[in-house]
Amino acid sequence: MSQLRGDAERWLLSFYRASEISGALFFGRLANVIRDPRVQFDLTRHFADESQHARWWSDCMDTLGVRPARVSASYQDAYLEAGGAPANLMEVLAVTLAFEKRVAGSYASHLKVHELAPPIRTTLERIMDDEGWHIQWVSRALRELEPEYGADTVKVAIDRYAAADREVYQKTLAEHDEIVASLQHFKAA
C-alpha cells in the first residue's frame, strides 16, 4: 500500500521535482555563460545540487510506488514574468535569492507535517541542507557586488524581486501551502 496521502501529496512531490529540474536548467545555463570566476564556481555547484534534488524526488516517488504527475506551472517562469527578466548578473542573483528563500520556506513548512512518509521526510531533510547554502552564497555574492553596482541599486533589485515573489506567491504558490495544510489534518485510515 502506498504511504502517500493521495493525489495531493503526489502532485506536491511532482511539483518539487519539476521545480528542481527548472532550477537546474536555469543555473546550468548560467554557469555556462557567466565569467566571474567565483560566481561561476558557486553556480556550477548550485546547478549540480538542483539536479541532484530532482533525482532525489524521482527516487522518493519511485520508493513510494508512484510516477510523477505532469506539472505545467513553473516557479521560475512566474518569477521572471512578475519581476521582469534580469538585466545583469546582480539581478540574476537578486531573483535567485527571492526564489531560494521561497523554496526553503515551502520545504520547511512541509517538514512540519506530522507523520510524513519516511522517504519524504528523508528527502526534505537532505535537500534542506543544500538550500541553506544556496541562500548563503547568493547573499554573499550580492554583498560583494555592491561596490560594482552600488549598494542602493542592489537593494532596489532585491526589493523588486521580493515584491515579485509575493505576487507569485499569491497567484500560484498559496496553493502549495493549502495542500500542505490539508496534509496536517490527514488521519490515517
Q: What's the N-to-C CA distance of the chain in angstroms?
A: 12
If the CB atoms of residues 69 and 104 are measured against Fe ion, the closer one turns out to be: 104
If the CB atoms of residues 91 and 131 are measured against Fe ion, the closer one turns out to be: 131
Q: Is 53 in the site for Fe ion (CB under 5 A)?
A: yes
Contact by Cβ (8 Å): 131, 124: no
If the CB atoms of residues 2 and 136 are measured against Fe ion, the closer one turns out to be: 136
If the CB atoms of residues 55 and 166 are measured against Fe ion, the closer one turns out to be: 55
Distance in angstroms (rounded) separating the CA atoms of residues 54 and 16? 8
Give the contacts of 103 (CB within 8 A, at least 6 positions apart): 19, 23, 75, 131
- Cα–Cα nearest to 43, from 107, 81, 89, 108: 89
Stretch that binds Fe ion, among 29-37, 50-58, 62-70, 163-171 (CB under 5 A): 50-58
Site for Fe ion in 112-131 (CB under 5 A): 131
Q: Which residue from 42, 50, 91, 165 is in contact with Fe ion, where contact means CB under 5 A?
A: 50
Distance in angstroms (rounded) separating the CA atoms of residues 73 and 118? 27
Q: Is 160 in the site for Fe ion (CB under 5 A)?
A: no
Q: Is 134 in the site for Fe ion (CB under 5 A)?
A: yes
Q: Is 165 in the site for Fe ion (CB under 5 A)?
A: no
Q: Around Cβ 33, how many Cβ atoms within 10 Å?
A: 9
Q: Where do contacts with Fe ion occur on this chain (CB under 5 A)?
A: 20, 50, 53, 100, 131, 134
